[in-house]
Structure 1
């Protein structure tokens, strides 16, 4: 039974990436998107470290996950315009993962309402790892890119 919950949770999280991109494409056409692009849930480096974001970053950089979005790599020498485009790509990825997180959260909510608390818990653990953490990582990377943009854009 536990394996059934895990398989469903991983599957719905993978599917949510596509749903998140579709939702993001719709949101991009709204005025609200500018506000979303400036989101910063966790500003503190210390809290990011306590949440294990450096470990998650290592996993993304050193496993096949590094091939999922090759547009999010920073070259050694970059120009201002490349930094701006990289930030846009990071914003797209971040908001797509947030939309995906909310989408999968709906499934977990349905399971809670149905009294399937363990199933809901497993869904949310997998959802956090596959959608929330990537979004938090993009927010951290965006802050670093913003510093470079300010430095080169002056």
Structure 2
């Protein structure tokens, strides 16, 4: 039970690390390239890994209150879409940075011989960092189609 709590604590703490890394990266010239990052372009693969179910969970549970900036206020305004896409990019890059941070910790646990904790940490990390990032990428692709 302790490993479960530590896994959640480490992964949720990684969100802060991700925000800090994103703030640093946003000052670099290649940040715009990161905003077009697509880890999984195939919508069928997104469905197979359960991204639709994850989206439902985010929309219909307490997770919907986590980032109030990622919410479309006016469906017609292009400026709203640009601002929404910008906020999604911040969330996406922050979660990816947090994901990498937790992967490093999990690898250290594996090397130290604590495989069970490392696997549990990675499971929580995928759910709380990788899936949100993939969801933001899918949503940004939908916004890009609307803006085109």
Instruction: Give 1:73 deviation, angstroms.
Output: 1.1
TM-score (norm 2): 0.97
Structure 1 segments (4+ residues) deviating >3 Å: none
Deviation at 1:35, TM superposition (A): 1.4
Structure 2: gaps spanning 5 or more residues: none
Residue 89 of structure 2 is matched in structure 1 by: 91
Q: Tell whether the 8 Å contact from 2:70 to 2:84 is kept in structure 1 after alignment.
A: yes
Q: Structure 2: how far apart are the matches of 1:136 and 1:80?
A: 23
Which residue in the other structure is 1:146 paired with?
144
Which whole-Å CA distance do the structure 2 matches of 1:42 and 1:50 have between them?
A: 11
| 8 Å contact kept, 2:96–2:129 | yes
| Alignment correspondent of 1:102 | 100
Give 1:31 deviation, angstroms: 1.2
1:27 matched residue in structure 2: 25
What is the match of residue 74 of structure 1? 72
- Superposed, 1:8-27 pairs within 5 Å as 8-27=6-25
Consecutive unaligned residues of structure 1, counting only runs of 5 or more, are: none
Using the alignment, how far apart are the partners of 1:59 and 1:90 within structure 2? 17
Match of 1:46 in 2: 44
Write the distance in 1 (CA, Å) between the matches of 2:73 and 2:143.
Answer: 12
Query: What is the deviation of 1:76?
Result: 5.0
SS in 1 for 2:72: coil
Q: Distance in 2 between matches of 1:21 and 1:125?
A: 21
Corresponding residue number in structure 1 for 2:112: 114
- TM-score calculated relative to the size of structure 1: 0.94
Could you list the per-position Cα deviations for residues 14-54 of structure 1 after superposition, in whole angstroms to 9, with x for gaps in the alignment?
11111100100000000121111110011111100000000
- CA RMSD of superposed structures (Å): 0.8
Cα distance in 2, alignment partners of residues 104 and 112 from structure 1: 12
The equivalent residue for 1:136 is 134
